[in-house]
Amino acid sequence: MRVAFVGKGGSGKTTLSALFARHLSRSGAPVVAIDGDINQHLAHALGLDEDESFPAPPLSAHLGEVKDFLRGTNPRIASREAMIKTTPPGRGSRLLRLLGDDEIHARHLHEVGGVPLMVTGAFDESDLGVACYHSKLGAVELYLNHLVDGSGEYVVVDMTAGADAFASGLFTRFDKTFLVVEPTRKSVSVHRQYREHAAEFGVPVAVVGNKVADEDDLLFLKEHVGDDLVAHCVRSDFVRAQEQGRAEGELEPHNAHALRLLRDAVDARTKDWDAFQKHAVEFHLRNAAAWADRATGHDLATQVDPDFRHGPVALAPGH
Ligand SMILES: Nc1ncnc2c1ncn2[C@@H]1O[C@H](COP(=O)(O)OP(=O)(O)OP(=O)(O)O)[C@@H](O)[C@H]1O
Ligand SMILES: [Mg+2]
């Protein structure tokens, strides 16, 4: 199950991604956390020393190798150059299992605070303002497009702030998207924006309230986001202590309960692999027409394999 945390800058995406990923991994569930934000903070939120940098290479630093690995022997993808972030898998493509024994997990995964983590790599100027905006996130999109995950295993992605999260098809690759909302007018206005975007693509949005201080805060949230609210976290001394470099205490019972509610919300989703692949193809064709055919010099619609069925069936021998 793929889970994304999105929301206004500073709302608590990284904090909740870290808490949720750790909650899952402590329960014994297989988890991969991915830092997909412009500024890479998830490793530190999981407990990496502030003066240390994440030891495994970012996915974006090996995008070419990632593409070569994933395209495998798929005859429809002629080269790594012809493979773009939305190129969907087809027969011959290599599919990934969560935490599988493959070169991508081997090269990019490193455990922090008990949670296996991969990072996309910090964005720079060259990633902004071009047609393939957020190209660094392309590696995450490819990873998710080629992943066959099941219930009871989780990918948790800390996404970029604000509406940027909708700049690519990436946001349709999740089973559950949690919008982190603080009890402020700015934060709830982001909720309205998201809702509209997400509805266009049939992506359900679930709200997690954060930094809730009292009953008035909770009422404010309920008034503005209504039934979208699945859980809320209160202001946490535990989080604050961690941020000050003091690893002390336990997460407050209220916040621990909120994490269990989030997990229940994820577990309640059922996967629809045919719909997942259909959306991947739609986004790919849209990208191809908008910029990628021109940029690559290929007719990228020919990469779509109409007979490919994604999901566990695609892992069966001889598929
Ligand atoms: N429930 C909480 N209790 C106390 N402090 C919190 C809580 N949630 C977040 N914070 C603090 O608020 C600040 C912003 O949180 P965080 O970095 O997780 O937000 P973000 O949405 O990831 O921000 P950005 O948009 O910059 O990536 C941090 O200092 C974090 O420790
Ligand atoms: Mg963050």
- Which ligand ends up closest to the CA of 18? 1
Structure confidence at residue 239 (pLDDT):
95
**CA-proximal residue: ligand 1, atom 13 (nearest):** 10
Q: Which residues pair with 231 in a beta bridge?
A: 208
Structure confidence at residue 122 (pLDDT):
74
Structure confidence at residue 63 (pLDDT):
92
**CA-proximal residue: ligand 1, atom 25 (nearest):** 9
The residue ranges of the chain whose pLDDT is under 70 are 123-135, 162-167, 318-319
Give the integer Cα–Cα distance in Å for 69 and 80: 9
Q: Which helix (DSSP H) or strand (DSSP E) does residue 212 occupy?
A: strand 205-212
Query: Hunting for tokens 């996130």 — which residue is that?
Result: 137
Residues with a beta carbon under 5 angstroms from ion ligand 2:
13-14, 37, 41
For residue 311, give both structure tokens: 């999901």
Strand, helix or coil at 49? Answer: coil
Structure confidence at residue 77 (pLDDT):
97
Predicted model pTM: 0.95
Q: Could you tell me the distance, in angstroms and rounded to a whole number, from the CA of residue 90 to the centre of ligand 2?
A: 34
Structure confidence at residue 37 (pLDDT):
84
Structure confidence at residue 192 (pLDDT):
87
Atom from ligand 1 closest to the CA of residue 234: 1
Give the integer Cα–Cα distance in Å for 18 and 35: 10
